[in-house]
Amino acid sequence: MSGASGTESIPSLAYDSAGSGPPLVLIHGLASSRRCWDLVVDDLARDFTVYAVDLPGHGDSDPIPGQAETPATEMARAVGAFLDQRDIDRAHLVGNSLGVWTALEAAADGRARSVTALCPAGLWEPIREPLGAIQFNRRAAVATRRVIPAVMRVAPLRRVLIRTGAERTATVPYRLAVDAAYAQADARGFEQAHDGALHRRFDRAADVAADVPVTVAFGDNDRLLPAPRFQQRDLAPAHARWEVLWNCGHAPMWDVPSVTTALVRETAARSTDA
């Protein structure tokens, strides 16, 4: 990896905010955007000041300049800079997939009040080759970008296209599916983030303080990161709670939004700095 050090090299993250209360940051996964949280933001905003951010090179956020690879440690630095800009020392962190890996790295940096980990990446033996499903979805989104709205209006086709992420495909709204496809097509930092995940894993579990509650939740039918290869418990913080979400895929905030928000609240409530 190349690139300058220091927060001055990290672009500001695009974000939406809602609600009031303790700060809570929602962190999306690879080739996604802050729009992926739309089904849970309003609920969480009843109890938290919710910040849904776009990671570097995703959504409306610029990539970190000068980097051929952007691993989760760098994504975490960007989240830390986002918190610093708002004079927030620690926040409740909620992530999905690569967003969880980012949240765990930020927790190891001392920036988390709690971590709700939805289908985390990084709890694996380092991957040497690109995951086929991720590459296929990216290529398909780029190739069909001009007709994404029309394609997604065909309900059976929409269900097929989002099946990598969702188990309850019939309940995923049209607008959410369209936004997800655009996010995949338009992620300018996809290659940097993708390559930053190869040959690495989360290896800082011991640095996550025991008083930072962590809940790890995998869908029972996660097609993207299935057990056991991608769900190695010994790589998570030793005090983490593990949950299985039934009839759920890789994006619990789509399949089971009310269960997702309940998990976030339960995890946050265990924090001594709630």
Residue type present at position 8: E
Of the pLDDT bands very low, low, confident and very high (cuts 50, 70, 90), residue 133 is confident
The owner of tokens 């919710």 is: 50
pLDDT in tens, 143-175: 999 999 999 999 999 999 999 999 999 999 999
Average pLDDT over residues 95-113: 98
Q: Are 109 and 81 in contact (CB under 8 A)?
A: no
Could you give the domains of the chain? 7-269 (3.40.50.1820)
Torsion of CA 80, 166, 122, 13, to 10 degrees: -20
Distances (CA, A) of 82 to 18, 85, 211: 16, 5, 23
pLDDT in tens, 92-103: 999 999 999 999
Q: Can you give the pLDDT at residue 131? A: 84
- pTM exceeding 0.75: yes
